Chains A and B, each alone.
Chain A
Amino acid sequence: MNGTYEHSWQEAMAGATIEPSEALWNNIASSMDTDRGRNYWVTLLLIAATISIAFAIPLSMGTLDYNAQPNHNIQIGQATEPTDQIINNKNQVTNNASSQSPTNQNTITPITNEQLAISNKQLKELSKDKNQVTNNASSQSPTNQNTLTPIANEQLATNNKQLNESTANKNQNAVNAQTIIAKTQFADNPTANNQILATNSLKQTEANGSIELSRLGTTRLSEIESYYFVPYFMPIEKDKFKGTNLLASLNMGTGSVSNNPPGGSFAEALFANDQTPNLNDVNKNTTERSENPGTAYYIGAGVEFPLGKKWSLLTGLGYRAQHAMGTSDLIFESEGVEKPLGAYAPIVAGTSFLSNSYEYSVTNSYLSVPVAFKYPFINKRVMLRGGLGVSTDFMLSHKISSEAYGNASYSPEEQNYQRLLLGGVATIDLSYSLNNQYSIAFETGYRKGLTAIDESKEYYPSSFTVGIILFYKIK
């Protein structure tokens, strides 16, 4: 494209060399040393970040807590004074009268004092034998779906024989001499003619005075409160990282759980670590239920797109697992097999209450898809940014294990958890450029559930997070 003029200049300048001063090399060597020192620290940081990722799984702290209050609101009339024998012997009174109701609205009508006024003689017999009193009258009902009707003395009396027989069969469930206090069965047992076992312990009636079973079958016990390190937001720094960035995230930090009202509060989330829920229902005076913080981890990757000069949009995909240890008195029975159930698991068909608790550990796993906007408040080499966004968590599994009842893995549907959780997230982060391509960021954030973990929409997980993020500019 160039002509003769340019060519003549190129020829004239060909082979031109001008020796720089002797000091130049020394300056270059000195700068290289400095840079090498800087690279050393960069390398160290990268190694540290890598190690952090590798160890984030076992070391990161997090909490999963099913800290909901079992919200049975079970009321069965006014309780009569239970006999000592009944309490001491931990007998159960099973009232299986599902088939007696002409309606099928999942309701259990109150049982009057008279109805519960089982004679001392009967009670003593029950105590001695440590049997359960079951009122199994399912066959009498013309319509029998999830309905519990009053229990008549006559029915109780006439069924003693049946109950004793039935109890003998049920004794196999009494692991560790635990007695089933309350047992619910729903319409998933066709052979039993869709009976509902509305089970009440006299111990419970003593504690509560009244028990209402109106929500039995739909009520949810559980709320998952969790603290985990989720890099929902991956910071960038000013011009150096203006562009599209790939992001790798790792989890570190601590957090706590709380027995929050819907949505929770920051203070509760931050300071309420371990707790024993105030169980003000049927299980109030029975066994302890608690779930303590365990480890949690998150591994994720994402991408960040610039939106204008300052705003950016971040999204990605991550795997999150949360672990907790707890004590529970619930078991889940399916096809004759008893499985462990978390202390605050929703009550579903097949859930049974035990008089003695057992230790367990639980792990929930999720796929997380965060989407967030970031805006820089301080836009220097160290960058301070705020972020707002949402995160959609897809529950993959709910696993629980115990020595007493072995291991179990439930799908969210099985235990009536919401598979999809949506949370709003607000964050503040500090980021620092390591070089032209890498940056590291430290982030704190608060996550508030926008959708409930349970179907009754009572419990909205919230959390406080601390995270570290490494990102790499791709263009």
Chain B
Amino acid sequence: MPISPYEQDLIQKCYDGDRTAYRELYTRFAGELMAVAMRYMKTKQEAEDVLQDAFIKAYKNLASFNQQSALKTWLTRIVINTALNALRKEHQKYQWNIMEAEEVHDTTSLPLESFHYTELIAFIQQLPDGCRTVFNLYALEGYSHKEIADMINISMGTSKSQYFRAKQLLQEIILSEDAKTKRKAI
């Protein structure tokens, strides 16, 4: 999606050093990007740290934005990369507690519509780092396991097992929370 004239103008002003324009850009995208960061990190503080670094990187690299993709897409990619770098530092090349998970062929549909996205984000945050990262990249960002394997330096098999493990855990969490909600309603 090509960039809109408004965003083009905004970027040009930012590139020219217009601090007000960059504040405007921040205000425009900070909420959505914060949600992305929250999915990857466990706490709000960590997510804000990621977001801060991401906006600074974006500011420094505005010149490299080719304007062929949407500004939001470009910024989201920066946030994701920043989050992955933060996790990499924390976990030393993703040597997480990787557990082998068998593929789950559960046809149970999750009642996602019963939850607000903030609750869903909170559920995702409960996942172990490895599972959470693979889940975000595969289910929500749309990367393939091959791409994920390359991105975070794990094997495709590990990516797949982590993903199924994430699905397994999320199913448990969501069904449990859903049951609690229904009990409260009764």
Q: Identify the A interface with B (CB < 8 A).
A: 1-2, 5-6, 8-13, 15-21, 24-25, 27-29, 31-32, 35
Q: Verify if B168 is at the interface (C-beta below 8 Å from A).
A: no
Q: Verify if B85 is at the interface (C-beta below 8 Å from A).
A: no
Residue-wise interface mask of B (29-51) relative to A, using a CB-CB cutoff of 8 A (1 in contact, 0 not): 01110110011000010011001
* Count of interface residues, chain B, beta-carbon cutoff 8 Å: 35
Residue-wise interface mask of B (71-107) relative to A, using a CB-CB cutoff of 8 A (1 in contact, 0 not): 0000000000000000000000000000000000000
The number of A-B residue pairs with CB atoms under 8 Å apart is 85
Q: Judge whether B121 and A20 touch: CB under 8 Å.
A: no
- Alpha-carbon distance between A249 and B42 when the two chains are bound, in angstroms: 48
Residue from B44, B52, B109, B118 whose CB has the most chain A CB atoms within 10 Å: B52
Residues of B within 8 A of A12 (CB): 112-113, 115, 117, 120
Describe B's contact surface by its main secondary structure.
helix
Q: Judge whether A13 and B140 touch: CB under 8 Å.
A: yes
Q: Verify if B67 is at the interface (C-beta below 8 Å from A).
A: no
Residues of A within 8 A of B113 (CB): 12
- Alpha-carbon distance between A455 and B122 when the two chains are bound, in angstroms: 82
| Chain A residue nearest in CB terms to B106 | A5
- Alpha-carbon distance between A422 and B22 when the two chains are bound, in angstroms: 56
- Alpha-carbon distance between A31 and B48 when the two chains are bound, in angstroms: 14
| Chain B residue nearest in CB terms to A29 | B19
Q: Judge whether B56 and A28 touch: CB under 8 Å.
A: yes
Which listed residue (B44, B52, B140) contacts A28, Cβ 8 A?
B52
Q: Verify if B157 is at the interface (C-beta below 8 Å from A).
A: no
Q: Judge whether A13 and B117 touch: CB under 8 Å.
A: yes
Q: Judge whether A21 and B32 touch: CB under 8 Å.
A: no
Q: 5 smallest A-B Cβ distances: which pairs? A: A17-B31, A16-B35, A16-B117, A12-B112, A6-B139
Residues of A within 8 A of B56 (CB): 28, 31-32, 35
Residues of A within 8 A of B22 (CB): 32
Residues of B within 8 A of A25 (CB): 23, 26, 30
Which listed residue (B19, B26, B35, B142) contacts A17, Cβ 8 A?
B35
Q: Judge whether A9 and B112 touch: CB under 8 Å.
A: yes
- Alpha-carbon distance between A24 and B48 when the two chains are bound, in angstroms: 7
Residues of B within 8 A of A28 (CB): 26, 52, 55-56
Within 8 A of A (CB), among B114-170: 115, 117-118, 120-121, 138-140, 142, 144, 167
Describe A's contact surface by its main secondary structure.
helix
Which listed residue (B112, B118, B140) contacts A18, Cβ 8 A?
B118
- Given A1-B144, A20-B51, CB of A6 within 8 Å of CB of B34: no
Give chain B nearest CB distance to A240 CB in angstroms: 14
- Alpha-carbon distance between A13 and B119 when the two chains are bound, in angstroms: 10
Residues of A within 8 A of B23 (CB): 25, 29
Which listed residue (A2, A13, A18, A32) contacts B34, Cβ 8 A?
A18
List 9 other contacts, CB 8 Å, given A5-B110, A20-B30.
Answer: A2-B139, A8-B112, A12-B113, A13-B121, A20-B34, A21-B48, A24-B51, A25-B26, A28-B56
Q: Identify the B interface with A (CB < 8 A).
A: 19, 22-23, 26, 30-32, 34-35, 38-39, 44, 47-48, 51-52, 55-56, 59-60, 109-110, 112-113, 115, 117-118, 120-121, 138-140, 142, 144, 167
| Chain A residue nearest in CB terms to B113 | A12
Residue from A2, A16, A24 whose CB has the most chain B CB atoms within 10 Å: A16
Give chain B nearest CB distance to A21 CB in angstroms: 6
Which listed residue (B32, B35, B117, B138) contacts A6, Cβ 8 A?
B138
Q: Judge whether A13 and B120 touch: CB under 8 Å.
A: yes
| Chain B residue nearest in CB terms to A2 | B142
Q: Judge whether B31 and A19 touch: CB under 8 Å.
A: yes
Give chain A nearest CB distance to B129 CB in angstroms: 18
Give chain A nearest CB distance to B50 CB in angstroms: 10
Q: Judge whether B139 and A10 touch: CB under 8 Å.
A: yes
Q: Judge whether A24 and B167 touch: CB under 8 Å.
A: no
Residues of B within 8 A of A18 (CB): 31, 34-35, 38, 118, 121
- Alpha-carbon distance between A28 and B44 when the two chains are bound, in angstroms: 16
Q: Judge whether B30 and A24 touch: CB under 8 Å.
A: yes
Residues of B within 8 A of A27 (CB): 52
- Alpha-carbon distance between A27 and B52 when the two chains are bound, in angstroms: 7
Give chain A nearest CB distance to B112 CB in angstroms: 4
Q: Judge whether B138 and A20 touch: CB under 8 Å.
A: no
Q: Judge whether A9 and B140 touch: CB under 8 Å.
A: yes
Give chain A nearest CB distance to B166 CB in angstroms: 11
Residues of A within 8 A of B110 (CB): 5, 8
Residues of B within 8 A of A35 (CB): 56, 59-60
Q: Judge whether B138 and A32 touch: CB under 8 Å.
A: no
Residues of B within 8 A of A19 (CB): 30-31, 34
Give chain B nearest CB distance to A472 CB in angstroms: 15
| Chain B residue nearest in CB terms to A19 | B31
Residues of B within 8 A of A21 (CB): 44, 48
Q: Judge whether A9 and B38 touch: CB under 8 Å.
A: no
Give chain B nearest CB distance to A28 CB in angstroms: 5
Give chain A nearest CB distance to B63 CB in angstroms: 12
Give chain A nearest CB distance to B145 CB in angstroms: 9
- Given A1-B144, A10-B139, A12-B113, CB of A31 within 8 Å of CB of B52: yes
Q: Judge whether A16 and B48 touch: CB under 8 Å.
A: no
Give chain A nearest CB distance to B86 CB in angstroms: 16
Give chain A nearest CB distance to B67 CB in angstroms: 21
Give chain B nearest CB distance to A25 CB in angstroms: 6
